[in-house]
Amino acid sequence: MNEELKVVTNDEELSVEEELEVLKSKLISVGVNSTVNSYAAEEKELAESFVSMSLRSIAPCWSYLNSNVKIKVLDSHEEEFRAWIDSLEE
């Protein structure tokens, strides 16, 4: 092996279950990102179903969603966000 090449390992290795959850979140996000602005009825319904899910269910996908989807999630959960913001101490 070339001395200049070094194997880099991730210090925090994920379990198989954790890797599958990350993969699932990424795949869901790809699907939602591609359907959120669709005019096709079925795709539009799928995207609307996703953004109206509980925030806890959406959370694992959040970092993989595009800005348009994130805005739709915020719009869909406006009351929850307002309550959360109002609960924050200044």
**What confidence tens digit (pLDDT) does each residue in 12-57 have?**
788 889 999 999 999 999 999 999 989 999 999 999 999 999 999 9
On whether residue 65 sits in a domain, the answer given is yes
Structural domain count of the chain? 1
Does residue 39 belong to any structural domain of this protein? Answer: yes
- Does residue 29 form part of some domain? yes
Q: What is the pLDDT of residue 20?
A: 94
Domain that holds residue 83: 16-87
Within a domain: 43: yes
DSSP string, the chain: --TT------SSPPPHHHHHHHHHHHHHHHHHHHHTT--SHHHHHHHHHHHTS-HHHHGGGGGGS-HHHHHHHHHHTHHHHHHHHHHS--
Note the pLDDT of residue 9. Answer: 59
Residue 5 lies in a domain: no
- Residue 10 maps to a domain: no
